[in-house]
């Protein structure tokens, strides 16, 4: 059996690789906090030094700082005390809208040696919004011959709060002729309908006024109201009826304006004006009216705004068919938005060295980058690389986080400066890419003999 003695240089390299692996493992550490929205500026979020097991001296020597990846910074780091504080008031509704849970994600960056830690702060909702209706009044024209059980779709209220603080139920008052019917939808909202309980009599009462109240589940409860004004018309025997209650369609993002999405159709057995049908989009809670319009005569729905998959992947559009006698029917159009590869990866330099010693060992971290692409699936998957024939390579440290490390011996006399091009490309067809350029200089390493000769030369002068 033959035994080979490991050289000191080989052993040193293996030790350095093991140390690099340990530092990489620590870079994957993360901590989470939960805070309510609207906390005052300067409020304490958490003791980040204690929770990450970091010494305050390390925060200072490592020039600890926060990296967010975008321009919005709501949290600040107090290195003297090792704590996170509220930098700017956080409005959960502005930050996340109806998305839950709502969270801030950022990294704590340290240098000498380079490390980063992931921090997640969940922002919880407080009941700071009342339910509200876009219109203070809803007007209906209903025939006195409308059959018991006829359904009239009411405008839904909007509440920016979420969860238990969000909109919970409705109450309809002065309901001798009508009752309220709520239907839960797939998206968690409720379809609000008014159902005729007993026939109307125009000769006894030609106008009705009802009050619809929307109530949230906060403590204390908040509410908003809208008035329902009903004009009673002479007989109209048949209401419009849609061919389908639900229409399904799909459209690619960035579709040209006037692109036809789908066509809805309703019929009415009445003749004359009572059989004439008018179509209208009834959405009032979102931006649907700015993105789509429907031809009131033939039911053809077209694109009128900018469809962006990164803003919304699905639209539920409510359409109402009305005849001239005031009777209505409703349907919904489920529109799926198809993603196209219209965003290039964004490269963010988290931390970098501009000078590196020529005797740096393989695996020395030179730069840390974060790459992001808001597109979906393959269009949003990112691969990063560097130019060839340089003693550097990219290593993935976490999803969309990369470290540029030395991958060979540096020789200042052979190459005093390295021009590094980092390219990040997505996997879309065609692929889109971005590039970041970095210049790194190799610094001189003097031996003890060179130091002595240098001092002697200075002494002669």
Per CATH, the number for 343-461 is: 2.60.40.60
Nearest to residue 146, comparing CAs of 191, 181, 197, 180?
197
Whether cis (ω within 30° of 0) applies to the bond prior to 430 is: yes
Distance of CA 138 to the CA centre of its chain: 33
Task: Report CA dihedral (34, 37, 38, 44) to the nearest 10 degrees.
Answer: 10
Distance, CA of 449 to CA of 153 (rounded, Å): 91
On whether the CB atoms of residues 165 and 216 are closer than 8 A, the answer is yes
On whether the CB atoms of residues 407 and 435 are closer than 8 A, the answer is no
Distance of CA 215 to the CA centre of its chain: 28
Distance, CA of 441 to CA of 158 (rounded, Å): 58
Residue ranges covered by each domain of the chain: 1-125, 127-235, 239-340, 343-461
Distance, CA of 65 to CA of 446 (rounded, Å): 33
**Residue-level pLDDT at 27:** 42
Of all residues in the chain, what percent are helix, strand and coil, respectively (each to 5)?
15, 45, 45
Q: Structure pTM?
A: 0.68
How far lies 377's CA from each of 242, 374, 402, 414, 426, in Å? Answer: 36, 10, 20, 44, 10
Per CATH, the number for 127-235 is: 2.60.40.60
Residues forming beta bridges with residue 183, ordered by sequence position: 191
Q: Which helix (H) or strand (E) holds 293?
A: strand 292-294
- The DSSP-derived string for 92-112 is HHHHHTT-SS-EEEEEEEETT
Per CATH, the number for 239-340 is: 2.60.40.60
Alpha helix (H) residue ranges in 90-180: 92-96
On whether the CB atoms of residues 328 and 361 are closer than 8 A, the answer is no
- Looking at the domain covering 1-125, what would its CATH class be? mainly beta
**Residue-level pLDDT at 445:** 56
pLDDT values of the chain reduced to their tens digit, one per residue, 461 residues: 333 333 444 444 443 433 333 343 334 468 999 999 999 999 999 999 999 999 999 999 999 999 987 656 899 999 999 999 999 999 999 888 888 899 999 999 999 999 989 999 999 999 999 999 999 999 999 988 888 999 999 999 999 999 999 999 999 998 889 999 998 888 778 899 999 999 998 888 889 999 999 999 999 999 999 999 999 987 777 889 999 999 999 999 999 999 999 999 999 988 888 889 999 999 877 889 999 999 999 999 999 999 999 889 999 999 999 998 889 999 999 999 999 999 999 999 999 888 998 888 899 999 999 999 999 999 999 999 999 989 999 998 788 899 999 998 888 888 889 999 999 999 999 999 999 999 989 886 544 444 444 455 555 55
Distance, CA of 427 to CA of 30 (rounded, Å): 29
Task: Report which DSSP code applies to 158.
Answer: B
- Other Cβ atoms less than 10 A from the Cβ of 312: the count is 15
Distance, CA of 447 to CA of 450 (rounded, Å): 5
Whether cis (ω within 30° of 0) applies to the bond prior to 101 is: yes
Distance, CA of 285 to CA of 288 (rounded, Å): 8
Distance, CA of 131 to CA of 161 (rounded, Å): 9
Q: Determine the 3-state secondary structure of 308 from DSSP.
A: coil
Residues forming beta bridges with residue 437, ordered by sequence position: 421
């Amino acid at each position: 059996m033959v035994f080979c003695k490991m050289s000191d240089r080989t052993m040193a390299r293996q030790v350095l690789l093991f140390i690099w692996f340990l530092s990489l493992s620590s870079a994957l550490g993360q901590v989470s906090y939960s805070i309510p929205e609207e906390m005052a500026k300067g409020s304490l979020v958490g003791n980040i030094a204690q929770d990450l097991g970091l010494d305050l001296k390390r925060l200072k020597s490592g020039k600890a700082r926060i990296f967010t990846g975008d321009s919005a910074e709501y949290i600040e780091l107090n290195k003297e005390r090792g704590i996170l504080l509220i930098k700017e008031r956080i409005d959960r509704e502005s930050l996340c809208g109806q998305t839950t849970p709502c969270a801030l994600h950022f990294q704590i960056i340290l240098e000498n040696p380079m490390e980063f830690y992931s921090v997640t702060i969940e922002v919880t909702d407080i009941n700071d919004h009342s339910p509200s209706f876009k219109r203070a009044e809803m007007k209906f024209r209903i025939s006195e011959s409308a059959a018991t059980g006829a359904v009239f779709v009411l405008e839904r209220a909007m509440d920016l709060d979420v969860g238990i603080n969000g909109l919970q139920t409705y109450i309809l008052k002065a309901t001798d002729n009508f009752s309220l019917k709520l239907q839960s939808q797939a998206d968690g909202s409720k379809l609000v309908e008014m159902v005729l309980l007993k026939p109307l009599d125009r000769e006894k009462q030609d106008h009705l006024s009802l009050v619809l109240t929307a109530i949230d589940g906060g403590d204390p409860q908040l509410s908003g109201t809208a008035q329902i004004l009903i004009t009673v018309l002479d007989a109209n025997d048949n209401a419009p009826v849609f061919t389908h209650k639900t229409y399904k369609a799909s459209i690619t993002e960035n579709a040209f304006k006037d692109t036809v999405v789908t066509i809805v159709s309703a019929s009415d057995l009445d003749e004359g004006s009572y059989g004439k049908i008018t179509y209208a989009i009834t959405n009032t809670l979102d931006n649907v009216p700015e993105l789509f319009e429907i031809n009131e005569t033939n039911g053809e729905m077209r694109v009128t705004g900018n469809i962006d998959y990164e803003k919304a992947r699905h639209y539920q559009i409510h359409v109402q068919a009305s005849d001239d006698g005031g009777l209505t029917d409703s349907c919904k159009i489920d529109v799926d938005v198809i993603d196209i590869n219209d965003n290039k990866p964004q490269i963010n330099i988290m931390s970098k060295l501009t000078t590196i010693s020529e005797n740096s060992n393989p695996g020395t971290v030179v730069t840390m980058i974060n790459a992001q692409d808001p597109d979906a699936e393959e269009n949003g998957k990112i691969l990063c690389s560097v130019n060839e024939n340089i003693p550097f390579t990219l290593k993935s440290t976490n999803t969309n986080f990369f470290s540029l490390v030395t991958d060979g011996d540096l020789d200042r006399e052979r190459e005093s400066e390295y021009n590094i091009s980092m390219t990040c490309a997505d996997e879309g067809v065609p692929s889109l890419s971005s590039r970041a350029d970095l210049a790194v200089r190799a610094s001189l390493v003097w031996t003890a003999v060179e130091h002595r000769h240098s001092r002697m030369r200075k002494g002669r002068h």
